[in-house]
Amino acid sequence: EAQVTQNPRYLITVTGKKLTVTCSQNMNHEYMSWYRQDPGLGLRQIYYSMNVEVTDKGDVPEGYKVSRKEKRNFPLILESPSPNQTSLYFCASSSPGTWENTGELFFGEGSRLTVL
């Protein structure tokens, strides 16, 4: 089954404790992206990657890091989480032809992060 898988789905952590949210897709997509969803603000892009070893900042990159060492994986790293990073995070991917031609995205089920 074609899917985007995120882990963990739920996480409660404390300020300053490094964490990684993993994202993996099995559709051989080149384009991958991270969004955060906050009430009243919709989805905002954190980082995206057009291909392996190619990443770029989105609208709200502060406090986050990403890496793209393999095509299927695109982990989101919070080196020193803070309470304002409490949010619902989504990973999304798209095939080259689809992304370049239409922008259609396939989303994971989300990771709800709480930073105390």
Partner 1 sequence: AQSVTQLDSQVPVFEEAPVELRCNYSSSVSVYLFWYVQYPNQGLQLLLKYLSGSTLVKGINGFEAEFNKSQTSFHLRKPSVHISDTAEYFCAVRSNQAGTALIFGKGTTLSVSS
Nearer to partner 1, 12 or 14 (CB): 12
Minimum CB–partner distance for residue 81 and partner 1 (Å) = 22
What is the binding site for partner 1 (CB under 8 A)?
A: 4, 35, 40-45, 48, 50, 58-59, 90, 92, 100-105, 107-110
Residues whose CB falls within 8 Å of the CB of residue 17, separated by 6 or more in sequence, listed in order: 81
CA–CA separation, 17 vs 41, rounded Å?
26
- H helix intervals, 1-116: 96-101
What are 113's two structure tokens? 């992060």
Nearer to partner 1, 44 or 72 (CB): 44
Nearer to partner 1, 71 or 112 (CB): 112
